[in-house]
Amino acid sequence: MDFGVVLQTNPPAARTVQLSQLAEAHGFTHVWTFDSHLLWQEPYVIHSAILAATRRVTVGPFVTNPATRDWTVTASTFATLNEMYGNRTICGIGRGDSAVRVTNGRPTTLKALRESIHVIRELGNSRAVEYNGATLQFPWSRGSELDVWVAAYGPLALKLTGEVGDGFILQLADLDIAEWMISTVRAAAENVGRDPDEIAFCVAAPMYIGEDTPESRAHMIEQCRWFGGMVGNHVADIVAKYGPSTGAGTAGRVPAALTDYIAGRTGYDYNSHGKSDNDHVDFVPDEIVERFCVLGTAEEHIAKLEKLRALGVTQFAGYLQHDNKEETMRVYGETVIPALTPPVTAKR
């Protein structure tokens, strides 16, 4: 299993770069950042600084979207960074959430998402692509390599991910929901003749290392309750489309465990998006925080991540929007990552 960190690009940018360096030092393979240019600093500028300050980590947005950024500009950014720093970028993409809603926009259609994935991937891999009636290719790009991982929740988005994604991003760590979504993506891949084992499966959730005491548990839950509110935005879209808990059908079913908890949701303020002091996520119960996040001692983290790995998860990306960033990364580097990473056998 690979490990990533997910950071917000809050000022000062040097702090984001510093956390990225710490992540690399502790054995994380990926550094991801939010991509909402109005809520936080421009991520791609900071990606360049992260890549310059590190040697091994792969860097990318978690996640970008086809609405607020021109697809060819997005591809050019990745291809340029790859030329500068040696194929160390990755593209996480979805229909759009905070980046579009903060401007009163709407997530893109799945058709637009599918087309954007194709255009960004082809150009980002130094290949030609048909776009708006023209054949496009970066004449300066040679040997660029770019995977495109798709963030999805709903049945049709999961189907698209299995059909075209290099990877699947699931932004919650609930075991039952992860099992359903991973199997849905794998089935969609098989239905179009793809090998599902070639798809990366990334689970992303807040990770918080704490003590085995009631006080520590309560603090961890409060620090990570924001995540249930963030996930609730996507769930609200699913409920609007499919109903509170759909049964069998052409689109598949949506687990009640994913949809039921938002019944008390009354709204969402994107100015507090992804912040531990979010003041309007009281509707998120403690149980959901526990199920969606990875909290507790190192042993508890290892136990839950082993179960996710058994479901087919190939990367865990931990959100660090809380007050224990450095210590959590340190314990992961010293205990959690080694427990879930096969030892490297020296060549003779």
Average pLDDT over residues 188-212: 98
As a whole number of Å, the end-to-end CA separation of the chain is 25
Which two structure tokens, joined as six digits, stand for 132? 């708006």
pLDDT of residue 159: 97
Q: Give the model confidence (pLDDT) of 219-275 as tens digits.
A: 999 999 999 888 876 676 666 666 665 543 333 456 676 667 766 665 555 555 445
Residue 82 pLDDT exceeds 70: yes
Residue 26 pLDDT exceeds 80: yes
Instruction: Answer with the residue of higher pLDDT: 168 or 261.
Output: 168
pLDDT of residue 212: 95
To the nearest whole number, what is the mean pLDDT of the chain? 89
Element (H, E) at 33: strand 30-33
Q: Give the model confidence (pLDDT) of 88-146 as tens digits.
A: 999 999 986 666 666 776 778 999 999 999 999 999 999 999 999 999 999 999 999 99
Residues ≥6 apart with Cβ < 8 Å to 335: 298, 302
> Cα 185 vs. chain centroid, distance in angstroms?
16
Residue 348 pLDDT exceeds 60: no
To the nearest whole percent, how much of the chain has pLDDT over 70?
A: 83
How many angstroms separate the CA atoms of 246 and 241, rounded?
Answer: 10
Element (H, E) at 331: helix 325-331
How many angstroms separate the CA atoms of 45 and 8, rounded?
Answer: 13
Residue 173 pLDDT exceeds 50: yes
- What pTM, to 2 d.p., does this model score? 0.89
DSSP secondary structure code for residue 171 in this structure: -
Strand spans (E) along 241-298: 294-296
Distances (CA, A) of 8 to 19, 32, 190, 318, 327: 11, 9, 35, 12, 18
* Residue reference for tokens 């079913």: 253
* 235 contacts 258 by C-beta, under 8 angstroms: yes
Residues ≥6 apart with Cβ < 8 Å to 204: 4, 6, 32, 62, 169, 170, 171, 172, 173, 316, 317, 318, 319
Amino acid at 340: L
Which range (123-132, 200-209, 253-262, 313-322) has the least confidence?
253-262
pLDDT of residue 294: 98
